[in-house]
Structure 1
């Protein structure tokens, strides 16, 4: 079993040349703002069509928070997009296990697909208001504890140098 090489870079998640790009989706799977909107815009209509098919079949009520599912990557420089829904940050409830689950479930899906490389955005740190420093700590904790079967490289793509 290969060991997981974790990389942290600054950049645009939509330009990462990896097997799978992770989308910080909303439960509808039908696009939105932030990372989700960027992935749908740059990936093109094939991603939305695949998401609509998922909604029509397995996820009629939407993708549950913390879960992950894959679609085509459309025009993105990847084979797949793995959609996961992060939790909204709460100062009164510890939702960090759910946030870490987004990373581990996305890795599980990537393994099922046979992906060798995967790029993650900083899940929940935008519209869902998770503090960036803790979001990074949660991502690295989840990825550091993982032992995927096929994924060799996990890249955490930070949108700006401030993160």
Structure 2
């Protein structure tokens, strides 16, 4: 049986301590980390956790809009500068005290979409993930299945698609 992990309030990299530092706009938080901790610091997790809070709906909207307006803009173009990413993340907080943050889970795709995605990726290895997403968004699953059959998709793969 797995054990439930306890919150380590002494670990500066625990998500709880990071969120508390974000909420109080602690601009020196990153500077206080050791070199080893700076290597482990994850701006991605900070962004995912920081943009969602529980409670007051107006405050929820503020965090989300602030994340989209201030943080998401060019966030990954400064990915080699974690301190700068931390400072940008601090702009999300309206400095209204400690908030209860939550994780925003990624969107789960349907099984059929996963199968179609794999087949399209194998047929078009030069396409990027977002281009495959666009194909799946523009065309219905039925249209793609019909087209794959017309171009001679293997029978085995065709049967797998019909099950989904």
TM-score relative to the length of structure 1: 0.27
Q: Which of these two proteins has the greater Rg computed from alpha carbons?
A: 2
Q: Which has the higher contact order (CA 8 A, sep 6+)?
A: 1
Q: Which has the higher helix share?
A: 2
